[in-house]
């Protein structure tokens, strides 16, 4: 899966992004600006939860967002 520069904006490493994708706790379709995307919540290598957004929803090939899990998503885990 291609990791776009926008996914590195918050300092999450490629290794942590890949780890979270391989070990999802949540895998859910969400909509942003009318576009379906996939939200993945999974652990970084050190165990902290990350939020990862991949597109396109039908066949995810690109990571466009990665950050530490924000409170708005806590109810999903």
Residues contacting 15, CB < 8 A, separation 6+: 45
Supply the pLDDT for residue 44: 99
Supply the pLDDT for residue 32: 86
Both tokens of 53, joined, read: 């957004």
Give yes or no for a contact between 40 and 65, defined as CB atoms under 8 angstroms apart.
no
Supply the pLDDT for residue 40: 98
Token look-up 């291609």 returns 2
Supply the pLDDT for residue 22: 98
Q: pLDDT below 70 — which residues of the chain? A: none
Q: How many domains does the chain have?
A: 1
pTM exceeding 0.85: yes
Supply the pLDDT for residue 71: 97
Structural domain harbouring 45: 2-76
């Amino acid at each position: 899966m291609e990791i776009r520069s926008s996914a590195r904006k918050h300092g999450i490493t490629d290794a942590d992004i890949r780890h979270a994708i391989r070990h999802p706790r949540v895998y859910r379709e969400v909509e942003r600006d009318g576009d379906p995307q996939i939200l993945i919540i999974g652990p970084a290598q050190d165990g902290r939860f990350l939020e990862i957004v991949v597109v396109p929803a039908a066949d995810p090939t690109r990571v466009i967002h990665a950050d530490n899990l924000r409170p708005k998503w806590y109810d999903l885990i």
